[in-house]
Amino acid sequence: MKLKELSAKPQLIEITLSNEAVVKKYGEAVTFHTWDRQPMDVFMQLANANDGGKPGDVINMVKDLILDDAGKMIMTKENTLPTDVMILAVGAIVERLGKL
């Protein structure tokens, strides 16, 4: 297989947070979207932040990757997520990137 064959535009994928605590608190699983692939600079920034940066560094980078089904950022100056959901969403994205 040629490397070029693996190259593609990023696509939105759905991630579901369905652990017991989320379902109990919100009455159902919570879904959001993110891109199925990230540019290398984003991947490297996350790796470096995870390696020795401050905990807030990862959240600040990943918040741009927590998207609605139209690819728009959910967390803005005006809107934020409940802390428990935000931490789970950040974890889900970081975990997914780590499995690539």
Under DSSP, is residue 31 helix (H, G, I), strand (E, B) or coil?
strand
Rounded Cα distance between 76 and 24, Å, is 26
* Token pair for 78: 């005006």
pLDDT tens string 24-74: 999 999 999 999 988 888 777 777 766 666 667 777 778 889 999 999 999
Burial class (CB in 10 A: 0-12, 13-18, 19+), 29: exposed
Rounded Cα distance between 66 and 75, Å, is 7
| pLDDT score at 50 | 60
| pLDDT score at 23 | 96
DSSP-assigned states of every residue in 16-28: EE--HHHHHHHSS
| pLDDT score at 52 | 62
Total-model pTM: 0.82
| pLDDT score at 61 | 79
Other C-beta atoms within 10 Å of 75: how many? 18
| pLDDT score at 40 | 81
